Structure 1
Amino acid sequence: MKKGEKRKQELLKIAYDMFLTKGYENTSVDEIIEKAQIAKGTYYYHFKSKEQMLKEVIDMMIASESEAAKQVIATDIPVPQKIVGIIASMKPAEAEQPIKNTLFQPENVLMHHKVREKLIDVLTPLLSEVIQEGVDEGVFECDNISERVKMLLIISDSTFNEGKFSEKDISVFIDMTEKLLGAQSGTMSFINDLIDKTDMEAVE
C-alpha cells in the first residue's frame, strides 16, 4: 500500500472511531485533524468534505462485512444457514448504530439511497452464488438467479427498511421468495427471524 493510501486509511479509521464514540454530527473536521496530527491541507487532499469521508467510512464498513460474508460462503453448512450468515454479516454491528442513524437523517437521504444501492450491488453476487448452490442441490429451482436475487433485495429493502410493515407483509414476502426461487413451502421461513421488528408498525 502506498504511503498516501495508508494515510487515507488511517484517517478513515480515526473518523470511524470518532463517529462511533461522539456521533457524526458531533465530530468536526478539526477534531479529526487534531487526532490524526496532520495539516488541514492533508485532510482536504484526501477528502473534499466530511460528507465524503462518511461515505468512505461506510464503504470501508461494507467492504469488511463483505469479506465476512465470503467466509460464510466458504463454509460447509446448509444453504439456508449460509443465507442467514451472509445477511447477518452485512448488518452493521450494534456499536455502528450511530453511523446507521446518521444515514436516516433527512439531510442525508441521498447518501442513504447510495449506501442502500451499494449494499444491493454487493449482496447480489454473494447471495446468487449461494442460491446457485441451492439449485445444484435441488433446494431451489429457478433461472436468472442474479436478477431474482436483486429483485428480492430491492423489495425487501423497500418493505422492511423503514419499519412500516406488518406480520402479514412478512408472511407474503416469505411466500413470494419461495415461489420466486422455486423452493418448497417453509424453506425460507427463517427469513422471519432475520427481520428487525423493533420499529415495526402494527399495520393491518
Structure 2
Amino acid sequence: MNEKHVIEVAAKLFLEKGFAYTSMDELVRISKVSKSNMYYHFSSKEELLLSVIDYWINTYHHAIEEILAQYHLSVEERVILFLTHLSKGVQEREFKGSCPFITLYIQSPAHATQIKEKIGDFFCELQAKMKLLIKQGIERGEFRNNIDVNDVSSLFITNLEGALFISETLKDASVITKTAHQFFNLLR
C-alpha cells in the first residue's frame, strides 16, 4: 500500500467533503486500497487526519523554505511568491478549504488535542518565519524601522487567514496577493 497515496486522497476529500462526511469506506474505494491495508496503517480516521495534518505541514514547509531561500528577492517579492503558490493551490482545490489548517482544525473532533496542538504549533512557526522576514525587510530598508516586529508578524498571519477565507467565499484567489500588497504598503 502506498501510504502517501492514501494520505493525499484523504487530504483532498477532507477539504472537499469535510472530515466528518468522509468515511473510511469511501477512502478505501477512492484510493483503491484494501480495507485491511487501510486499517493496518491507520487504526482510525483520527490517526489518518493526523497524517493529513503532517502532509499539509510538510507541503507548506517545503514551499516556504524554497521561497525564503531566495535572498536575491525582496521580502515582499518572496512573500508574494509564496502567496502566489498558495493561491494556485486554492484554485486547484476549487476554493475548498482555502486554508487546510483552519478547515481541518474546525472539523477535527473535540477530543483531538494532538491535532489541534500540531496546527497551533504550525501557526507559531509560521509567525516566527514571518517575524524573521519582517526583520530582514527592516534591515534591508524595505520597511520602516519603527514597526513592532511581533505585532506586525501576528497581524500578517491574521490578515492572511482572512484573505484565504475571503478568497474562498468570493472564488477569487487574487484577494490573497492583493491583500498582502496592501499590507506591505502600510509597512513602508
Instruction: Note if 1:17 corresponds to 2:9.
Output: no
Query: Please, which moves more after superposition, 24-33 or 104-113?
Result: 104-113
Residue 115 of structure 1: how far off its partner (Å): 0.7
Whole-Å separation in 1 of the counterparts to 2:24 and 2:79:
39
Q: What is the TM-score normalised by the length of structure 2?
A: 0.59
CA contact (8 A) 2:127 2:157 kept: no
The answer as to 2:22 corresponding to 1:27 is: yes
Partners of 2:33 and 2:181 lie apart in 1 by 52
Deviations along 1:118-164, whole A, 9 cap, x unmatched? 23225524x3553453354244669xxxxx65x765676689969xx
Compared with structure 1, are the counterparts of its residues 21 and 87 closer, same or farther at alpha carbon in structure 2 (3 Å cutoff)? closer
C-alpha distance in structure 1 between counterparts of 2:142 and 2:32, whole Å: 55
Q: Partner residue of 1:117?
A: 121
Q: How does 1:71-82 map to 2 (within 5 A)?
A: 71-73=66-68, 74=70, 76-82=72-78
Match of 2:38 among 39, 43, 46: 43
- What is the CA–CA distance in structure 2 between the aligned matches of 1:132 and 1:27, rounded to whole Å? 43
Q: Which is higher, the Rg of structure 1 or of structure 2?
A: 1
User: Which of these residues, 103, 106, 109, is aligned with residue 107 of structure 1?
Assistant: 109
Counterpart residue type for residue 109 of structure 2:
E
Deviation at 1:14, TM superposition (A): 1.6
Counterparts of 1:13 and 1:66, CA distance in 2: 16
Residues in 1 aligned to 2:18 and 2:81: alpha-carbon distance in whole angstroms: 28
Instruction: Tell me the CA shift for residue 189 of structure 1.
Output: 8.4
Mapping for residues 122-161 of structure 1, pairs under 5 Å: 122-125=126-129, 127-139=130-142, 149=150
Q: 1:124 to 1:97 in 2, by over 3 A?
A: farther
Task: State the 1:12 CA deviation.
Answer: 0.6
**5+ unaligned residues in a row in structure 2: which ranges?**
163-179
- Which residue in the other structure is 2:183 paired with? 191
Offset of 1:31 from its aligned partner?
1.5
Match of residue 56, structure 2, among 55, 58, 61:
61
Q: How far 1:85 moved relative to its partner?
A: 4.2
Aligned-pair CA distance for 1:55: 2.4
How many residues are treated as equivalent by the alignment?
A: 158
Q: Which amino acid aligns with 1:103?
A: Y
- Aligned-residue Cα RMSD (Å) equals 4.0
Shift of residue 46, structure 1, vs aligned partner: 1.7
